[in-house]
Amino acid sequence: MIRLFTGVLFILTLAVSAQAETAAKQYFGAKDNGSSQKSAPYGSYAKGCLAGGQQLVETGPYWQAMRLSRNRNWGHPETVEFVQRLAKKAAKQPGWNGLYIGDMSQPRGGPMLSGHRSHQIGLDADIWMLPATNLKLSRSQRENISSISLRKSNGAFVNSKWTRQHHEIIKAAASDKDVARIFVFPGAKVQMCKDEKGNRAYLRKIRPWWGHHYHFHVRLSCPRGAKGCVDQAPPPKGDGCDEAQTWVNNILNPPPPKPRDPNAPKPKPRGELTLADLPTACTAVLHAR
């Protein structure tokens, strides 16, 4: 009897150990629906999960969710509400009937099987740069249509497809009280800094980052009362325009690489997140109904 108990305990230990070592993205990527828990983000944007995720309706009066096969049109209810109200504002811009919504989060958040390192707690959303003129696209069309790139010269400038409408939609997103940050390619931030003649306070939230020329990435603050949610540090004070110009200057005239210290240890490759790396609550999120 003791041997049987010891054997069962050994097997359970191996199972728990194997689960701890398996990449968390395998578990979260396999979930096709949200948990029945109260909505709550746990952890940080790049290391966490989402309880009680809400699915953005695939087609609404002012939006369409794209790449439906990915099942990434999920988020915290505040993110879903934000997308809906931004889409309504976008529909007032000439040539736009609303928005095409790219990746938000998986049903239970967590690390994704491919792509983003963030988008893990249901508070991130990618908005396509392609004007949403047709809100009756089929599922097949949404898999095959692509957004447009607005960058020129590796991101130092906007190209001819950049419009005042893009400026106004990104401005509307950044002006929203729930938004913490918006990531967009450096040339777009610099262009907005040049073109803005009114209140410039919202520009602080718009941050230059590599890529982000086919879409802009909106990141919401942790909801009020979400004790398990970890906010990113706020952006530096000011409108951030000088910083964006520095990005552009470095693209056009790259500074010489810093010499590597031969005695410095080689950086370790970034490993896959496991369940052990995530907040404890994420295990419950994963196993909830």
pLDDT in tens, the chain (289 residues): 444 433 333 333 333 444 446 999 999 999 999 999 999 999 999 999 999 999 999 999 999 999 999 999 999 999 999 999 999 999 999 999 999 999 999 999 999 998 889 999 999 999 999 999 999 999 999 999 999 999 998 999 999 999 999 999 999 999 999 999 999 999 999 999 999 999 999 999 999 999 999 999 999 999 999 999 999 999 999 999 999 999 999 999 999 988 888 888 877 777 899 999 999 999 999 999 9
Which residues touch 209 (CB under 8 Å, ≥6 apart)? 183, 184, 185, 186, 217
Residue 126, SS3? strand
Q: Where are the alpha helices (DSSP H) in 46-184?
A: 77-90, 139-144, 164-174
Note the pLDDT of residue 12: 32
Which residues touch 201 (CB under 8 Å, ≥6 apart)? 239
Beta strand spans in the chain (E): 40-44, 47-51, 54-55, 63-65, 74-75, 99-101, 124-128, 151-152, 157-158, 179-184, 206-208, 215-220
Q: Write b or e for each residue in 81-108: b if 16 or more Cβ atoms lie within 10 A of its Cβ, otherwise e.
A: ebbbebbbbbbebeebbbbbbbbbbbbb
Note the pLDDT of residue 263: 81
**Residue 212 Rama label (left phi>0; alpha psi -120 to 50; beta):** left
Rounded Cα distance, 222 and 228, in Å = 9
Share in percent of the chain as helix, strand, coil (round to 5): 35, 15, 50
Note the pLDDT of residue 8: 34
Rounded Cα distance, 194 and 186, in Å = 13
